[in-house]
Chains A and B, each alone.
Chain A
C-alpha cells in the first residue's frame, strides 16, 4: 500500500486538525472567519489532488480494506464539491449563531473524511468504521445550535434512529461474516456463489438487515421518519449538507456492496429494491404535496429523488448504475443550490413557503436561481434534472422494466405541483394567498432580516451552484461520460 493513494483523505483530515489548533490561536471573533477559509482551502486542495489522480487513472486495492479506483475518485469529487459549497454557505450564516466555529468546520471535515473512506471501503470492518465516522459528526452537526430546542430535537431524533439503524445493519453483517468466513467484499462474493440460499434462508434475512441500515442512511421509505424532522430542525447549511453528501456516499457504498459482495444474490435483492423504490417515490411525492414548511417539503422531495435513484438498483446493469451516478451529481448540486437560497433569504424565520412571497421583487438573482433549481428538480427539458431523469428512465426501460419507468414518470408529474407552488409564491404578487397567510408571515426582524444585504459568500455559493447547473444543462455529455467511466471502473462480476 502506498500512502500516496489516500492523500486526499489525509489532506482533509489534516485540515480538520489544523482548524482545531487554529481555533485556539485566533482569539478575536473577527478572525474566526479565517477558519472557514482554511476549511475551504483544504477541500479545494483535496479536489485538485483527486482530479490529478483521476487523470492519471491511479487504481489499487490494498490492505484488504480499501479499493482506490476511478469510481471512488468521481464520487469523492462530487462529495468534496458539495462540501465546499456548504462551507461557503456556513461562513456568514453561523456568524452569530454558534460561539465555537472551529468545532463546526472540524466536524464537517471529519464527516467528509468518513464519507471518502466509505466510498473506498471494500471490507465490512473498514465500511462500518467509516460509516460511524460519517454519522457521529452528523448527529452533533444537526444539533450544533445548542440553544435552539428545535435543532436539539433534530439531533436527538437523528441520533436515536441512526444508532438503531447502524446496530441492525451490524447484526446483519455478523451473519454474512459467519456464513462466508470473510469480511472483505470479494471474499464474500466468492463464498456466496457456493452457498445455496434455500438451505440458508438466514442469509436473506441478514441481507435485509443490512439494506435496512442503508435505507436509513439514504432515507428511503419506510426508513425515512427522521428526514422531515431533522431537515426542519437543523440549521439550514447543515440541512443542505445532510441532504447531499451522506446520501451520495451512502449510494456509492451501496453500489460497491451490491455489485461486488452481493452480486451472486442479484435475483433476490433486485426485488427488494423495486419495492423500496416504488414506496419511496410515491410516499415522498404524495406527502410533499401537503407540506407548508419549505425545508420539510424539500425533505420529502429528497425521499422521492432517492426513490428514482433506487430504480437503478432494480435493474443493476452498467447503464443503470452510471445513470444513478449522474443523477447523484445533479441531485447534489441542485439541492445545495436550493438550500443555499433558503439560507440566504430566510434567516431567522420559520421557513414557511409563504415567507418566499414576492422574492422576485426583492432579489432577482435569488428568484432566478430558485426557478432554475425547481424546474431542474421537476426535470423539464433544458435543465440538468431532465438529463438525469432521462438517462435513468431510459436505462430502466432498457433493462426491461417499462412499467417501473412509467411509475417514475407518473411520480414526476405529481411532483410538478409542489415545486411550481414554490415558484407561485416567488414570482406571484405580494398579495398572493389569503389574509391568513399574511398573518402567518412574521414581521421581518430588522437584525435577522438580511434580505437586502445577502452576504457575498452566500451569494457566491448560490452563483456557483447556478453556474454548475447551467453548465451541466448545456454540456451534459462530459458529465455523463464521467459517470460512465466511474461505473466501468467497478470490478464486478455483473458486467465484466
Chain B
C-alpha cells in the first residue's frame, strides 16, 4: 500500500503549482484553471486522509463531494463574470482590468 505521505506530497505539489499559476498567469481563464488545480489538491488531501484514518472515516469523502459541487458552482459564476467583463472591455488580461485604482 502506498504510504499516506506520498499522497500528501503530491497534493502539496499540486497546490503549489496552482499558487504559481495564480501569481504568474495573466489570462483570467488560466487563473480560474489554476484555482481549480488548488481545489483538486484539497480533494486529494481529503480523500487520502479519509482512507488512511482509523476505520475508513467517511467524513472526508463526503466533504470532498461537497467541495467538488461547490467548486463547480463557483467556477460557473466566475466564467459568467469574466464573459460579461469581456463583452464590456474586450479583454480578459488581468493587467488591463484596471479602471479601479488609486
- Seen from chain A, the residues whose Cβ lies within 8 Å of a Cβ on chain B are 124-125, 128-129, 132, 136, 139-140, 143, 146-147, 149-150, 152-157, 159-160, 163-164, 166-168, 170-171, 174-175, 177-178, 181-183, 228-229, 232-233, 291, 293, 296
Cα A351 to Cα B7 with chains together (Å): 52
Which residues of the partner chain B approach A124 to less than 8 Å between Cβ atoms?
A: 63
Cα A125 to Cα B58 with chains together (Å): 12
Cα A167 to Cα B71 with chains together (Å): 9
Interface string of B17-40 (1 = CB under 8 A from A): 010001000001001100100110
Contact A183 B59 (CB under 8 A): yes
**Choice from A125, A140, A167 contacting B77 with Cβ under 8 Å:** A140
Which residues of the partner chain B approach A182 to less than 8 Å between Cβ atoms?
A: 59
**Choice from B18, B45, B59, B89 contacting A125 with Cβ under 8 Å:** B59
Contact A149 B66 (CB under 8 A): no
Q: Can you list 17 contacts pairing A with B, beta carbon distance less than 8 Å? A: A125-B62, A128-B63, A129-B66, A132-B73, A149-B85, A152-B88, A153-B97, A153-B100, A156-B97, A160-B31, A167-B42, A168-B38, A171-B42, A177-B60, A181-B54, A183-B59, A291-B102
Cα A124 to Cα B38 with chains together (Å): 18
Cα A441 to Cα B26 with chains together (Å): 36
Cα A229 to Cα B101 with chains together (Å): 7
Given known A150-B99, A156-B97, contact A125–B73 (CB-CB < 8 A)? no
Instruction: Tell me the interface secondary structure of chain B in the complex.
Output: helix
Say yes or no: is B82 at the interface (Cβ < 8 Å to chain A).
yes
Given known A128-B66, A128-B67, A159-B77, contact A150–B84 (CB-CB < 8 A)? no
**In the complex, what's the smallest C-beta–C-beta distance from B21 to chain A, in angstroms?**
11
Say yes or no: is B13 at the interface (Cβ < 8 Å to chain A).
no
Cα A293 to Cα B41 with chains together (Å): 40
**In the complex, what's the smallest C-beta–C-beta distance from B84 to chain A, in angstroms?**
6
Cα A480 to Cα B102 with chains together (Å): 39
Most interface-central of B32, B38, B54 (chain A CB within 10 A)? B38
Cα A229 to Cα B15 with chains together (Å): 27
Which residues of the partner chain B approach A293 to less than 8 Å between Cβ atoms?
A: 102
Extra pairs beyond A149-B85, A164-B35, A183-B59 (7, CB < 8 Å): A125-B62, A129-B66, A159-B78, A174-B49, A177-B49, A177-B63, A228-B102
Contact A163 B67 (CB under 8 A): no
Residue of B nearest to A161 (CB): B22
Interface string of B42-61 (1 = CB under 8 A from A): 10011011000110010110
Contact A149 B99 (CB under 8 A): yes
Contact A174 B89 (CB under 8 A): no
**In the complex, what's the smallest C-beta–C-beta distance from B97 to chain A, in angstroms?**
6
Which residues of the partner chain B approach A129 to less than 8 Å between Cβ atoms?
A: 66, 70
